[in-house]
Amino acid sequence: MNSGTVQHSQQGPPSPVVSTTSTVIDESTALLNCSSVNILDADEMLLANMGYKQDLYRGFDAFMSFSFCFTTVGVISGLSGLFVYGMKTGGPSVLIWSWIIGGILNIIVALNLAEICSTYPSAGSVYHWAGCLSSEKNAPLYSYVTGWFNFLGNAAGDAFFAQSFSTMVNALYQLIYPENEPLSMEFQVFVAICSCCFCALQNITRIDRIGWLNNFATFWQVGTTGIIVATLFGTCSASGTTLSSPKEIFFTFYNGTGFDSKFYVAMIGMLTTLYSFTGYEAAGHMSEETKNTQTASPLAIAYTALAAMVVGLLYLIGLLSATASNVENFVLNQWEVTNIFGQCAGYTTGILLAILLTVNMYFSGMSSFTVSTRIAYSMARDGAFPLSKKIAYVSPTNQSPVGSVILVLSIDIILLLLNLVNETTFTAVTSIATIGYQISYAIPILLRVTTSKNVFELGKFNLGTLGIPMGWLSFIWLFCTSVLFLLPTQSPVTLSNMNYTGLILLLTFLIGGVAMSIFTAEIYEADLIALVLFTFAELEFFSDELSFVLLNVAQYCWTSFKLLYLLAKKEKTAKKKSSKLHSPVTQLSTVRLSTQNSFD
């Protein structure tokens, strides 16, 4: 293939890879007409070839991209919040070995995502990649489903981080004032909402200012890990507390679930790793705000996964060195990580360590909030939401997506308020976070190794001949581990401890289908509701005759309702002189080298 040309897939989109030798505007022409010609750099030209103009401020450098991504994963925040669960479901051995094995496989997943990011660096990340890697016919469906799960997963993750932050504030309060009652749930929810509001205020500023804060957060997280591990080793030895031996750390198994099967307990114990080791695609969402994005963004994804594994392993070893020899006492007393600090390091030092960890919780939530706003922005500019134009609004002053910030803040507040209704409901809803990540990672990787296997053009960062086998390994890992999120984690199973993730997943899918069919029917032409109804019929939940009748009646009613809605909408919008939205995700068969939309 000649330098500077664009490769076309058989049924899909052009691969928008900009060669370093391609010329956007003839140099002599630019010199003679510099006052009238808008010269694009390689990053802007790449974005223009994908059908978008540069609305957001490109202020991230390579290290900022890595710092942002690493802070989003928030590995010590996740492990701290789930440490009790991990000790109960397998104990130290499952915690350590699932982290090592899962960490290696997650690094492979990250490398596959990084390869795709190098070719398609856009704020939509996995949402946009799924559309670009699929065929023209199925692109809208794959893109929407991927974006829907990725967005809801991130939004639920925001709420989880905010609630974890308020929980740490409560634990810190109890550590300082052990004689007082814990903070009320109402106050904890208030603290969580306030943290989200602060995140929103930070996200309406220019992105490079957030970048510098993330640089600081990275050093804070690594420093916190080192301080906690060193303190636990040092103070336990000084106080006469027996440190756990390597054998106890790596081979102590504990079952506090009520299930008899050790294999089953080990499988559900892996959820600690899966919950804590997500979000490493965050650099992809910031690629439209990153300089030299075809290299910087994918490297940030890869290095984040590697750094998260190493930091998480060190942190686990530090915590287990103080607890592995007495797991049963830890579980029965329902101690939190802050209790370990207080028991081993003493009152004052324990408080200082808890403060370090609490600040980490906030930084993780801040970065997660930023990711959610970029997903919302990228989907809104493609018309995937009601009021998409308002949600996609970008501040002309700071070049920040103010509309999507407001949307994400509203969703997070609603999710956090569920705690006041029922804590189980909040836990069930936020449990969609990680499985949402898993699904949104698996879809573009599967399309990369199937539909686009022979037509995918490698970017500056690529895996070469290892891309396909590593892609299959990543997909199998993501698919198999996704099943674990649906399994019960406590026996006997009751209404109070039942795993509602499967139900929440089904409701999420149906809500997404309704939203797709109603609000985005003009843009996403695939009818997801018809697909759901057809699936029910194919699974033979009813007899063949009844399935046929239900399928046709439901589809007729739904199509009629949708048609009436669209006619009413068309009648309303016909009065306004507005141009029709052309989404590059939905018109993937068109080669859009012309950038007339980009320079309105």
Higher-confidence residue: 225 or 328? 225
Strand partners, 8: 14
| Statement: residue 24 has pLDDT above 60 | no
Q: Are residues 456 and 553 in the same domain?
A: no
Q: Residue 123 — pLDDT band, cuts 50, 70, 90?
A: confident
Q: What is the mean pLDDT of the chain?
A: 79
Q: What is the mean pLDDT of residues 484-510?
A: 80
Q: Residue 582 — pLDDT band, cuts 50, 70, 90?
A: very low
Q: Are residues 353 and 257 in the same domain?
A: yes
**pLDDT value for 26:** 38
For the ranges 96-110, 113-127, 443-457, 529-543, the lowest mean pLDDT is seen at 529-543
Long-range contacts of 188-194 (CB under 8 A, 24+ apart): 188/163, 188/419, 189/163, 189/416, 189/417, 189/419, 189/420, 191/165, 191/166, 192/159, 192/162, 192/163, 192/165, 192/166, 192/416, 192/419, 193/162, 193/412, 193/413, 193/416
- Token readout for 426 is 């909040």
Round to whole Å and give the CA distance between 369 and 286: 12
Burial class (CB in 10 A: 0-12, 13-18, 19+), 3: exposed
- Token readout for 354 is 């808890």
Contact 118, 459 (CB under 8 A): yes
Q: Residue 336 — pLDDT band, cuts 50, 70, 90?
A: confident
Asked, for residue 133, whether it belongs to a domain, the answer is: yes
Angle formed by the axes of helices 347-381 and 337-345, to 10°?
Answer: 150
Q: Are residues 89 and 203 in the same domain?
A: yes
Q: Are residues 417 and 554 in the same domain?
A: no
Q: What is the mean pLDDT of residues 298-308?
A: 96
- Going by C-alpha positions, the residue among 213, 488, 285 that lies closest to residue 293 is 285
Please provide residue 7's backbone torsions phi and psi, each rounded to the nearest 5 degrees: -85, 145
Asked, for residue 37, whether it belongs to a domain, the answer is: no
Asked, for residue 356, whether it belongs to a domain, the answer is: yes
Higher-confidence residue: 236 or 561? 236
**pLDDT value for 320:** 92
**pLDDT value for 311:** 95
Q: Are residues 323 and 385 in the same domain?
A: yes
**pLDDT value for 114:** 96
Q: Residue 405 — pLDDT band, cuts 50, 70, 90?
A: very high
| Statement: residue 118 has pLDDT above 70 | yes
Asked, for residue 144, whether it belongs to a domain, the answer is: yes
User: Which residues contact residue 468 at a Cβ distance below 8 angstroms, ignoring those fewer than 6 apart?
Assistant: 449, 453
| Statement: residue 331 has pLDDT above 60 | yes
What is the maximum alpha-carbon separation in the chain? 80
Higher-confidence residue: 568 or 291? 291
Q: Are residues 413 and 545 in the same domain?
A: no
Q: Residue 441 — pLDDT band, cuts 50, 70, 90?
A: very high
Q: What percent of the chain is modeled with pLDDT above 70?
A: 76
Asked, for residue 594, whether it belongs to a domain, the answer is: no
Higher-confidence residue: 508 or 164? 164
Round to whole Å and give the CA distance between 273 and 253: 16
Contact 48, 18 (CB under 8 A): no
For residue 255, the surrounding DSSP H or E stretch is: strand 254-255
Ranked by mean pLDDT, which of 214-218, 325-329, 501-505 comes out on top?
Answer: 214-218
- Going by C-alpha positions, the residue among 546, 562, 433, 454 that lies closest to residue 154 is 433
- Going by C-alpha positions, the residue among 100, 158, 151, 101 that lies closest to residue 127 is 151
**pLDDT value for 144:** 84
For residue 349, the surrounding DSSP H or E stretch is: helix 347-381
Q: Are residues 532 and 496 in the same domain?
A: no
**pLDDT value for 407:** 93
First to last CA, the chain: 32
Contact 404, 376 (CB under 8 A): yes
What is the DSSP code string of 575-592?
A: TS--PPP--TTT-TTS--
Which amino acid does the sequence have at 309? M
Q: Residue 592 — pLDDT band, cuts 50, 70, 90?
A: very low
- Going by C-alpha positions, the residue among 277, 281, 286 that lies closest to residue 370 is 286
Give the tens place of pLDDT for each residue, 452-479: 988 898 999 999 999 999 999 999 999 9
Domain at 184, CATH number = 1.20.1740.10
Round to whole Å and give the CA distance between 160 and 162: 5
Q: Residue 211 — pLDDT band, cuts 50, 70, 90?
A: confident
Q: Are residues 230 and 101 in the same domain?
A: yes
Domain span holding position 397: 56-501
Q: Are residues 212 and 273 in the same domain?
A: yes
Q: What is the mean pLDDT of residues 581-598?
A: 37
Asked, for residue 424, whether it belongs to a domain, the answer is: yes
| Statement: residue 525 has pLDDT above 70 | no
SS3 content of the chain, % helix, strand, coil (to 5): 70, 0, 30
Higher-confidence residue: 271 or 530? 271
Q: Are residues 187 and 92 in the same domain?
A: yes
**pLDDT value for 31:** 33
Round to whole Å and give the CA distance between 39 and 365: 38
For the ranges 47-51, 144-148, 185-189, the lowest mean pLDDT is seen at 47-51
3-class secondary structure for 319-332? HHHCCHHHHHHHHH
For the ranges 104-108, 153-157, 511-515, 525-529, the lowest mean pLDDT is seen at 525-529
Higher-confidence residue: 94 or 505? 94
Contact 379, 386 (CB under 8 A): no
Contact 252, 327 (CB under 8 A): yes
Asked, for residue 332, whether it belongs to a domain, the answer is: yes
Handedness of CA 330, 333, 338, 341 (dihedral sign): negative
Q: Are residues 160 and 66 in the same domain?
A: yes
Count structural domains, the chain.
2
- Token readout for 427 is 């836990």
Q: Are residues 457 and 559 in the same domain?
A: no
| Statement: residue 102 has pLDDT above 60 | yes
- Going by C-alpha positions, the residue among 21, 39, 22 that lies closest to residue 30 is 39
Round to whole Å and give the CA distance between 224 and 229: 8
Which amino acid does the sequence have at 173? Y
- Predicted TM-score (pTM) of the model is 0.79
- Token readout for 449 is 């190794």
The reply to whether omega before 401 is within 30° of 0 (cis) is: no
Contact 17, 45 (CB under 8 A): no
CB count, 10 Å around CB of 61?
16
| Statement: residue 579 has pLDDT above 50 | no
- Going by C-alpha positions, the residue among 334, 341, 336, 366 that lies closest to residue 356 is 341
Asked, for residue 231, whether it belongs to a domain, the answer is: yes
**pLDDT value for 20:** 34
Higher-confidence residue: 202 or 243? 202
Contact 349, 231 (CB under 8 A): yes
**β-pairing, 89-90 with 254-255?**
antiparallel
> Strand (E) positions, 383-493?
none
Give the tens place of pLDDT for each residue, 126-184: 988 998 898 887 888 888 888 888 888 888 889 988 998 998 899 889 888 888 899 99
Q: What is the mean pLDDT of residues 367-374?
A: 91
